[in-house]
Structure 1
Amino acid sequence: MKYIFVAGAPGSKWSSVVKNIYHSASIDRSDYSDARTYYHDASGKMELMHLGAYFDPGMEFGDFFDNLDQYTKEQCETEFDRPFSGSDIRIIKSHVFAHHLEFIKRTWPDCAIVLVHRSSDSCLGWWVKCGHFDITYPDYSKYYENLRQMSRIISAQNQAIESGMNQWTGHDVYSNLELAQVLALDPPLDQYAQNYAQADIKVKII
């Protein structure tokens, strides 16, 4: 497995799901740089929550991903690989993957897709609490534009993710340790333990 694809709407807490497996020894972390980080205190204390490359229209990578299925496997992989220089499993995370689940499953059948879901109201409220358009990485301003547009896109992405969860068999997982086990990753460090029910998120691997 070369890639792990992750899809979740803004505010779904998908970044915490990624963060809490990112430090597994199985993961290629060469996409990390200080410029690709963002700290926020939405949980009550200042924490590093965004790290590594994000792929989405208007962001540093993945500008064409809203039309992902119109590109070849080779073109997509060239973009996936741009921020990386290592050789381990690469986490590729994009909100708009929600609308391309069938294409991803067909094109990379040996790679897992991790779906993260919360209610749309919870997503929008959390995203605003985390900094909304003042988030410094990634940049939401170009594609998501304003709160009305953000709300519309979150709802559409959540609908697509929920549909994917219902359409495909897979593994519902309830912690980052279980997620790592199903993905056959080395277990993350204890300090990154995450219980998904306590975090108010639903996670499924398809």
Structure 2
Amino acid sequence: MAATDAPARSGPLDRLRAPGQRPALVVVDVQRDFGDPDRIGAYGCTPQTLAAIDATVTRIGALVDRARAVGVPVVWVELGSDPGRPWRASTWLRGGDYDGPMGLDEPCVIGSEGAAWYRVAPAPGEDRVVKRGYSGFLGTDLEARLRSAGIDWLTVVGLTSECCVAATAQDAFQLDWPVVVPADATAAYDDAVHAAALVQLGLNVAVVTDVDTVTAVWDEALA
């Protein structure tokens, strides 16, 4: 079965369908610097990829609406690059000066327009977690919030599939949560990179499925 195919009813999703299972939706980095076509053009996206990202953000918005309608908690994970605490290893990897200040092209600097949510946004009372790196769990209280809420499994969506979505999903899995990633609710700036990320996620981290399957599982678990 291809990584993007919806899995059959038998298998890992059966446990998640069981009455009483409490899911949560984790939305990762759907921010202007990662989703707004006026800001991501420098990443070398083709028109087809830009269209795919646009459609992905639309599906994420619809999934958020559905989660709210059926009572699935929505948790928002956002990058907040802090000039006072530059991520030096990231700067080094991109060819910059490890010992220098944060570059002007750093994405999602705290308080900047690029850090704002893009076409989706938290509702009052929904949890928000600000991270400095890739994973929503690294250096944050995300694990504690999910444990406190009694969450049994996670759906992880957002931008981008090979980077912050993958890192957050992997840490969730290693912390012993079953993870589901709908392939049509995440994207990357290159189609081949996105496809490879889904394969990797499906092999080692998550059930890779689609938005329709996720919503069906939510309905059964919460019936």
Normalised TM-score (structure 1): 0.33
Normalised TM-score (structure 2): 0.31
Greater C-alpha Rg: 2
